[in-house]
Structure formats: structure tokens, C-alpha cells
Amino acid sequence: MKYKTISIILLVVLFISGCSEKRDVVIKKIENIPAENISEETIPMVVMTPAEKLEPICETKISIEKPAIKPVKDHEKSSSDTDLSECVWSQTETVETKTLEEKNTVITKAPQKKKIPEITVSKSPLLVVPGECLVFRIKWNFANVGKLILACKKEKIDNQEVYHFVGLTVPEGIWTKLGSGYNRFDSYIDSKTNLPFYYYQYSASSTTSQITKSIIDHRTKTLSYEVKKYKDGKQYGAKSGKVNFSGILFDGLSALYAIRGMAGDRMPSAKMPVGITKITGIYLFFVEKNIDTFIVGKREYWLIQSEATEDEAIFRKGRLFVSISADREKLPLLMKGKVPLGTGTVELISQKTLNANFLTDSKSLTEILNSTL
């Protein structure tokens, strides 16, 4: 039955291959993706309220307990650089890793139990570069299925500086006919603590869409969320809740920038807590430092294996290899991992610096994307 289902899917893909929505139709759909700008709405109660500032826990060493088994080098691209010598990593947890029968396996034989430190420092490793704009090509096996644009902007909310990460995916080819690939991600970062406090996510298929809003309060250690589901433009479902956490927490978009900030020659293995509607962990392992040719040129890079226990925004359950440039920019050059019926890759194809006052609505981001390519 399993192989019959796969065969049917392949036949459908082959049947509609080469077919896609007209470009102007796709552009219109992307421009109409609802954006989130919390500076123009009632600011959530816990956001940017005067409170005790979180002081960084800084020393000249890294306190960790190394895992018993080290990752094995794999011929996947990855790279990045960072100095973590000023902050302590603590609070080890016992975790269990399942063995996956994949080509991109970083651990030759997964241990039954191992202790991996969780990131708990008040000073976040998150990398922030205001004005940075990155454009990626998304591929499924050998087919181009879309593009991703990521940008970072410094903004002010209630006269307090914040950083705004925003991401937008643009489908291409057969995926435009299937109605998939229209997504938006927004993450707001407190400039005092370098930690996320508000997250927004929009995703859509051909007839349905979903909006998720999450508030991360690092003072009360609570994650509050609200999810609304729509069909043909009408809301048909909703849920909300609150989850407690300890230490620090990243959302589904800021997690990528945290990985960039952590990457380096001496990067220790760690568990990164991520929260949108629940708290999950992304386990990070340094694999190797190498050099290779990417679309943006020949680069020295760090290869990092990330293993997510759940789907969280741009991260999907399973192993993902992330290549980060081994320089000050720490660019995410390539992300590669297993997806249904093959391999998915997200590779950097363009980089530019935007004006400090660039707009972050979906239409403006679409225009930036078109002008970049």
C-alpha cells in the first residue's frame, strides 16, 4: 500500500510537471500574505514592559559535559564562526536519540543515553545584523520549488529598540499549482537581552491558511500562543494556551540566527530549546570545518548537524545539515536534509544590505526579492 501511494504521488507530480501558475498570479498571492507589525497594534502585555534587565552570566570558560559519541564527518556542506568563550553553558539533561536509517546520518551508532547541555545563559548567542537580506533557493531533489528571503531590521516599539527578523517563502513551478509554499515568519528580539519575545507565522495551502502568534516572556518563563485556522477566508478553528519553560527559549525563526551565532571551531554539542505552541529541542553537533564551492562562491565553512524532535517553522523533524561560512558574517550557505520522497536543500544565492528604513510588509519584501535576482 505504501509503494502504491508513492507511485500515485510520483505520477501526479510527473503529470503536472512543467505546469505552474502565471507569475503575476503568484506575485499577487505573495503580496497579499498578511504581515504582522506589532508597532501598529496593541502591544502584548508582556512585550517590552519596564522590568528587571536580564544580566548575562559571563566567564572565561565553557562548562559542558561532552557527549560520549562524536559526530562522523559527512560530505554535506556547512559553515560559520563565533566566540562562545565568555558565557557558561549548564544544566545537562539526559536525552535519547533514535537511530535513523538515512544517508545523511551524523552519528554512526546512536547511544542509548547521553548528556547534552541545554543553552541556559542569559546572554543569548543569537546573531543580529540589521539591514542584512539573504535570498535562498529551495530545491526538492533536483527540482526548484521556491525561494526564501530573510531580512533583519532594527525598529522601535514604545521608544525601545528591537530587532525584527522576517522571512517569506515564494513557491515556484508545480508547487504554485498545488497551492503550497506561501509562508511568512516574523520574530521580534529584545535588544537588551538579545532574546525573542514575539513570534508570528502564516502558512497557506490551496484553500486553507493558519496564523500562529506566540509571546515568549523570559521574566515569567512562560510561552503563550494563539492559533487561528481559516478555510476559504473564513475562520473555522482556534486554540490557545500557555506553557512554562526554564532557561532561555528561541522561536522557529530566531533559532536559525542562534545557530549562526553559536557556530565555530570550538562549538560544543548542545540542546537548543525552541517554542511556538510547545517546547521542543533541537540538538546541535559540530561535524567539521572544510572548504567548498557554493553558489555565492568558494567558502570555508563549518558543518553543523541539527536534529529536531518536532516540526518548528523552518526546521523539520529529523536531521538537517547546516553549512555556515567560517568568517565574521557566518552566512547560512546551505541547509540540507531528508524530506518525503527525497532530499530538500535550501542554498544561499544572493546577499545584500538594505536601507535602514526598508519596509517589511509582504509586498515590499516581494519587490526586494524580485530586484535581488
Q: Which pLDDT value is given to residue 341? A: 75
Q: Considering the chain, what percentage of its residues have pLDDT values greater than 90?
A: 45
Q: Which pLDDT value is given to residue 86? A: 28
| Statement: residue 327 has pLDDT above 80 | yes
| Statement: residue 73 has pLDDT above 50 | no
Q: Which pLDDT value is given to residue 69? A: 37
- The β-bridge partners of 126 are none
The residue that leads in pLDDT, 118 or 260, is 260
What distance, in Å, lies between the first and last C-alpha atoms of the chain? 43
Q: Which pLDDT value is given to residue 157? A: 87
Count CB atoms within 10 A of the CB of residue 166.
Answer: 24
Identify the CA nearest to 188 among candidates 166, 209, 171.
166
Which amino acid does the sequence have at 253? L
Q: Which pLDDT value is given to residue 25? A: 72
The residue that leads in pLDDT, 18 or 164, is 164
Identify the CA nearest to 157 among candidates 53, 39, 49, 45.
39
> Going by C-beta distance under 8 Å and a sequence separation of 6 or more, which residues neighbour residue 53?
192, 193
Whole-number Å distance between alpha carbons of 312 and 317: 8
Q: What is the pLDDT of residues 137-158, one digit of tens each?
A: 999 888 888 899 999 999 988 8
pTM equals 0.76
Q: Which pLDDT value is given to residue 128? A: 94
The residue that leads in pLDDT, 165 or 177, is 165
Q: What is the pLDDT of residues 199-255, one digit of tens each?
A: 999 998 878 999 999 999 999 999 999 999 999 889 999 999 999 998 899 999 999
> What average pLDDT score do residues 314-330 get?
86
> Going by C-beta distance under 8 Å and a sequence separation of 6 or more, which residues neighbour residue 292?
77, 298, 299, 301, 323
Q: What is the pLDDT of residues 280-314, one digit of tens each?
A: 888 999 999 999 999 999 999 999 998 877 665 56
> Going by C-beta distance under 8 Å and a sequence separation of 6 or more, which residues neighbour residue 260?
80, 82, 127, 324, 330, 331, 332
Q: Which pLDDT value is given to residue 22? A: 72
Q: What is the pLDDT of residues 28-45, one digit of tens each?
A: 777 778 887 775 454 555
| Statement: residue 13 has pLDDT above 70 | no
